[in-house]
Structures are given as C-alpha cells and as structure tokens.
C-alpha cells in the first residue's frame, strides 16, 4: 500500500498531537472533491475544484511533513471556476452550506469540533469584481482556534493559486513594512503574525528571489525562522525582529521577485485588485518554472519519507 492510497485515512495528528501537514493538505483536496461530488449527486451542479493548505507552515515542516511549531489556526484555499452555476448567489450559498457540512463531517472524525459556520467576508486586496471570500468555523474542542477557507474565483492548480496569493499577501505586509511610513509597532500577537507572514512569503518566493536579495536577507530570515520555531515569548523580542524586517526593506525584495514577470504581461502587482477577472489565479510562465517545482519537490519528499515509514512499520 502506498501513501497515495492511505493519504486520507491516516491520522493528521501524530502520537504527540502534532499536525501532519502533508496529510492535512491531502485531506483538504479530498474534502473539495467530496463537496464537488455531493453537489453533483444531490443538486446536479457540476463544479470542479482544487484545494489545499494555505499559510505556508508546510515550508518549514520536518521531513515527514510534521509541523515544527504549534498550529493554532487551520487554513485552506479552494479554487472554483468562473462563468459557472456558482454565479447564481443561491448556488454559491449552497456551495458554502455543503462545504461547511463536509468540513465538519471530515475533520470532526479527527477530534475537532467545528461549529458556527460564517461566510461571505470579502478578503482585502483581491479582485474588485470577483473578490476572494472566506468561510470560517470555530473549534469547540480547543485543539485549534478556528478553521478558515478562502474561495478564489478561477480554477487552477493549488501551486499556482499559492503563488498568485503571494501578490495579495505582499500588499498586506507592506501596510506596516513600507519604508515611506514610520514603523508602526502593534501588539505582540499582531507582530508575530506579521513575522510569520514575512517568513511564509520569503520561503514561498525563494526560487524567484534575486541572488543579491537572498544574500542580504538570508542573514536575517534564517535566524528569524529559528527564533520563531523556538517560540517568541516577549513583546520586546517580537518588536526587535519587526524592526529588523522593516529597516532591511525585506518586503521590497518580495515585490522585486514578482514585479518584472507580471509587468511583461501588462499587470502591475501593486494594483492587483484592478486586474481583469481572467487574470485571477494567473501566474506568468517564468514564475511557474521557478516556483512550482519547489512545492512539488517538497511534497514528494514528505510522501517518500512517509511511504518508507509506513513500509518499515508494516514489514514482516
């Protein structure tokens, strides 16, 4: 038996209660396919979808995909087609209802207890005409705080949707990392979220970053990652790291990694909200060539190591 055949049956929590992000990622894809099938079988609505993890913690998981830091929030990204029956608000509402039902049925089997589904929030810096929306549920088991799912209007591969979302995320972190504004020190929780998002962007875009920028940024980001995984427990330490990220213009290296590739096609990453709707979830070929393989290699590594572990545990 291979990992592919057991991927949605294995526990997403290991014996120590740590999340296996490889299995969770695969489970999100399985959930999307289940929702798609149920919509067709019960309502004759044919909606293909792709889905997976959102957030980037898999970039720094161990060799078997186990999270190396405490995961308190679960995130997924789901890509749905434009010009489909989902354009009817009643059908989109049906998608939300079915999706939260399948999420609960599936994840509650792993010890979670997700309740109070809410949906419809528009995500900042997404397309003005077809904004990304979210579905959120809270975990009464207290294993995590909540689960949030982002629905993006254009079906594509999971890898491409993550790269495209980086354009939006750069705008989010630049709100506080823009050197044209004085540094805005927020509370410790918000500062840690900013540091986490900066790390995620750095490792998500690593294959597209310039060598000069990597040489400059590695000396900051690698120690920050080590500190983050060890746990940042004081506001003073969090603030110190924030000021390093701010003063070293890290966010501008992210913009540099994407800007030129998109400009070749007449798209300004600083105005992503104004892009034509057919460019939602679109990634230039040169960026796909640089970035998609790093995701594929990472998840193949998880799969290979888990498959070996499974075979070793079940050897005669």
143-169: pLDDT as tens digits: 999 999 999 999 999 999 999 999 999
* pLDDT, tens only, 99-113: 999 999 999 998 899
Backbone angles phi, psi at 112, to 5 degrees: -85, 170
SS3 for 306?
helix
Confidence of residue 2 (pLDDT cuts 50, 70, 90): very low
* pLDDT over threshold 80, residue 16: no
Confidence of residue 7 (pLDDT cuts 50, 70, 90): very low
Does an H or E element contain 187, and which?
Answer: none
pLDDT of residue 1: 33
* pLDDT, tens only, 216-258: 999 999 999 999 988 898 999 999 999 999 999 999 999 999 9
Higher-pLDDT residue of 4, 298 = 298
Neighbours of 223 (CB within 10 A): 12
Mean pLDDT of the residues in the chain: 93
Residue 312 in tokens: 């070793």
pLDDT of residue 187: 87
What is the CA 36 to chain-centroid distance, rounded?
21
* pLDDT over threshold 60, residue 6: no
| Maximum CA extent, the chain | 64
Q: Give the separation between CA 200 and CA 193, rounded to whole angstroms.
A: 10
* pLDDT over threshold 80, residue 9: no
Rounded to two decimals, the pTM is 0.93
pLDDT of residue 115: 97
Q: Give the separation between CA 235 and CA 187, rounded to whole angstroms.
A: 8
What is the CA 288 to chain-centroid distance, rounded?
17
What is the CA 145 to chain-centroid distance, rounded?
17
**Side-by-side strand order, sheet with 114-122:** 50-53, 73-80, 146-153, 133-139, 114-122
In sequence order, what DSSP letters do the residues of 157-168 get, joined into one string?
A: -HHHHHHHHHHH
**Residue 209 near residue 253 (C-beta atoms within 8 A):** yes
* pLDDT over threshold 60, residue 10: no
* pLDDT, tens only, 282-308: 999 999 999 999 999 999 999 999 988
């Amino acid at each position: 038996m291979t990992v592919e055949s057991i991927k949605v049956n294995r526990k997403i929590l290991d014996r120590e209660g740590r999340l296996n992000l490889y299995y969770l990622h695969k489970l999100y894809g399985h959930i999307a396919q289940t929702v798609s099938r149920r919509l067709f079988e019960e309502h004759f609505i044919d909606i293909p979808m792709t889905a997976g993890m959102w957030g980037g913690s898999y970039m720094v998981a161990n060799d078997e995909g186990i999270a190396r830091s405490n995961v308190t929030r679960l995130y997924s990204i789901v890509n749905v087609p434009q010009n489909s029956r989902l354009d009817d608000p009643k059908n989109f509402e049906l998608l939300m209802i079915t999706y939260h039902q399948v999420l609960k049925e599936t994840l509650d089997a792993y010890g979670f207890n997700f309740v109070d589904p809410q949906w419809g929030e528009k995500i900042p810096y997404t397309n003005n005409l077809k904004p990304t929306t979210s579905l959120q549920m809270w975990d009464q088991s207290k294993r995590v705080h909540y689960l949030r799912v982002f629905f993006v209007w254009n079906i594509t591969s999971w890898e491409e949707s993550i790269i495209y979302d980086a354009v939006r995320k750069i705008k989010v972190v630049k709100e506080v990392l823009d050197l044209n504004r004085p540094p805005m020190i927020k509370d410790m929780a918000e500062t840690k979220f900013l540091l986490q998002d900066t790390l995620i962007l750095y490792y998500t875009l690593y294959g597209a970053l310039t060598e000069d920028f990597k040489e400059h940024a590695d000396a900051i980001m690698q120690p920050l990652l080590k500190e983050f995984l060890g746990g940042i427990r004081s506001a003073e330490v969090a603030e110190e790291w924030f000021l390093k990220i701010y003063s070293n213009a890290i966010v501008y290296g992210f913009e540099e990694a994407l800007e030129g590739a998109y400009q070749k096609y007449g798209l300004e990453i600083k105005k992503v909200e104004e892009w034509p709707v057919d460019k939602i979830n679109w990634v230039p070929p040169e960026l796909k060539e640089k970035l998609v393989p790093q995701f594929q290699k990472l998840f193949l590594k998880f799969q290979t190591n888990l498959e070996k572990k499974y075979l070793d545990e079940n050897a005669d």
